[in-house]
Amino acid sequence: MGINRRDFLRVGSGGLLLAGGGLLVPAWAKGAKLLQPAALPDGTRESALLEALPGKVPLIKRSYRPPNYETPPEYFREVFTPNKAFFVRYHLANIPEVEARSWQLRIGGEVESPLVLTLDELRRFETVELAAVCQCSGNRRGLFQPHVPGVEWSYGAMGNARWRGVRLRDLLNKAGVKKGALELVLDGADGPVLDKTPDFVKSLPLWKGLDENTLIAFEMNGEPLPHWNGFPARLIVPGWTATYWVKHLSSINVVSAPFDGFWMKSAYRVPVGKFPVVERFLSQETAANTPITEMVVNSLITSVRDGERLSLGKPLELAGIAWDAGYGIRQVEVSTDGGMSWRNAELGTDHGRFSFRPWHYRFQPRHKGRYTLLAKATNRIGQTQTFELIANPAGYHHNLVHQVAVDVV
């Protein structure tokens, strides 16, 4: 059953009641004017609004149906993104409200003994928790020049959370994967409005499914997953883009031939050899293109906003976050003069190699005027960010060095 308009309003009013109690809405969001990068398409900026989905704080609405809502940049001042502010991304609009009691996960196909697990049965496997960044492949798509069609995200189609769940590996071992198995086909409870529309089904190489960090999570930051983030259970593929993190996970089918669904064969693909990735999805690769896999190294300045006015005499606190595919952040360099000179920022607490890594750099502006601030991250295998966009048809892997201009007055 999909969420109809009436349910939407009903739950929505509950969200507002909470908001009225001051629990959900941070001070900056109350009556806040939505500031958006000028580089976004005009129509994107005009159609965006701060709107609250049921159970969420106001997020940047990109589309109502299917719901695509982006996390406002202020929330990235914290290393862990609050569940209520975590971005929402759906491809198809038939989104059931899954009940924990009736939810089941089926594991079948090329296995010795197929499994059907309830949530309670799933929880009996060994439970683990890890911090990992969930980032949409198309995060920052709206900043591509020239623009490419799609959901025109700014910086906020991502979040970092502590995911608690069980290892997919343990489930596969229990089911007994047969020899010759190649991929895992993953489906969630959400689906298309029309039967003819390809359901959002993804596949993952078997070896990635057997990675000790690939989880089926039922908790996020110590709470059950929010409905909009995949309740009651979703796949967690640390280091890989969120397209594989199937929400409302309902079945895992082990197959011995490459899965040929639309969302693998045609969507979420990048040109071969253009991006520096180590882990490739070879059974899905063609001569021309390959499925997107690992996230590229990236960083974001969070302590100051573009165009902000700061007073001379006060130290300027430059801070932000950096992340990559899980090799770990080795260094964040910052520039306060538009890229002419660079200094190392100090790295903050390490919450694990898949997490956002906080960093900061304090400096004393000596004179009034405009300061162009940049931050550039490098990971432990030497991958770094680009100064020139790597064009690709669907607008993935935007990791241009983030630049913010402030006026010291």
| Residue 7 or 317 with smaller CB distance to another protein | 7
In whole angstroms, the minimum distance from the beta carbon of 107 to another protein comes to 29
Choice from 127, 197, 283, 386 touching another protein (CB under 8 A): 197
Cα gap 194→302, rounded to integer Å: 41
Q: List the one residue out of 305, 263, 302, 297 whose CA is nearest residue 281.
A: 263
Strand partners, 363: 316
Choice from 60, 61, 95, 232 touching another protein (CB under 8 A): 61
Q: Which residues of 196-233 are buried (b: 16+ CB within 10 A; e: fewer)?
A: eeebbbbbbbbebbbbebbbbbbbbbeebbbbbbbbbb
Choice from 27, 31, 126, 340 touching another protein (CB under 8 A): 31
| Residue 358 or 395 with smaller CB distance to another protein | 395
Are 237 and 245 in contact by the 8 Å Cβ rule? The answer is yes
Binding to another protein by residue 41, rule CB under 8 A?
Answer: yes
| Residue 60 or 304 with smaller CB distance to another protein | 60
- Asked if the bond preceding 67 is cis, omega within 30° of 0, the reply is no
Binding-residue pattern over the window 87 to 106 for another protein, x denoting contact by CB under 8 A: ------x-------------
Stretch that binds another protein, among 14-22, 163-171, 284-292, 366-374 (CB under 8 A): 14-22
Binding to another protein by residue 22, rule CB under 8 A?
Answer: no
Choice from 110, 152, 294, 324 touching another protein (CB under 8 A): 152
Please state, in angstroms and as integers, the Cα–Cα distance from residue 98 to each residue in 15, 29, 234, following that order. Answer: 19, 30, 12
Binding to another protein by residue 263, rule CB under 8 A?
Answer: no
How would you classify residue 90: left for phi > 0, otherwise alpha for psi between -120 and 50, otherwise beta?
beta
Binding to another protein by residue 62, rule CB under 8 A?
Answer: yes
Binding to another protein by residue 13, rule CB under 8 A?
Answer: yes
Cα 85 from chain centre: 12
Applying CB under 8 A, the residues found at the interface with another protein are 5, 8-9, 12-13, 16-17, 19-20, 25, 29-32, 41-44, 46-54, 58, 61-67, 93, 146-147, 149-152, 192-198, 262, 266
